Amino acid sequence: MLCGIDEAGRGPIAGPLVVAGAIFKEEISGLNDSKVLSEKKREKLFDEIKEKTHYHIVFTSAKQIDEKGISACLKDSIKEIMNNLKKEADVFLMDGNTSFGIETLQHKIKADATVPEVSAASILAKVSRDRYMCEIAPNYEKYNFQKHKGYGTKAHVEAIKEFGRSDEHRFTFRLKALGEGVEGVQKSLF
């Protein structure tokens, strides 16, 4: 059985990294890369995917990303998924161009659009992350997380300029718009 793996949240400047793995128990129609599906379609598929797959979803906080680095966090998340789903799967396929040094992990560029199991994982990761960002938004009203989900939009960068970073922000992600070089990041961490 094939386990598809994909992530959401590698690039944002706030919020968690979410990695999901999915193995089909039943066929699911209408799957595609989560980024090309409407939010309504993703939400509808999310519950169906949870019903019709063996799945595992891993959240990694912004603080953990700052401490370990994004690549190490991705690798740890993938290993956790592989460990949790190893009874159901004998092949693990990650969307992208790297196996993160994991010998038994296969990878394929655009797998999220061409391999249904990876599409399912893509939707699980994206919807889980988006829901999380909307849930925490009322606690961080100044940042409007529900609108941009932590990505570096102009409005989000402007909010950071005015209010600084919150504990949901990644301090090690430098922002050119804030004139941050390596030195600026180091100062903000200590």
Percent of the chain at pLDDT exceeding 90: 89
Q: Looking at the domain assignment, is residue 157 inside a domain?
A: no
Q: Looking at the domain assignment, is residue 37 inside a domain?
A: yes
CATH number at residue 77: 3.30.420.10
Q: Looking at the domain assignment, is residue 190 inside a domain?
A: no
| Domain encompassing residue 24 | 2-136
CB-based contacts of 159, cutoff 8 Å, min separation 6 = 142, 143, 144
How many domains does the chain divide into?
Answer: 1
Q: Which amino acid is at 173?
A: F
Q: Looking at the domain assignment, is residue 175 inside a domain?
A: no
Which of residues 170 and 185 earns the better pLDDT score? 170
Q: Name beta bridge partners: 95.
A: 108
**Digit-coded pLDDT (tens) for 66-87:** 999 999 999 999 999 999 999 9
Q: What is the pTM for the complete model shown? A: 0.92
CA distance 35 to 32: 8
Q: Which amino acid is at 33?
A: D
Structure tokens belonging to residue 7 = 């992530």
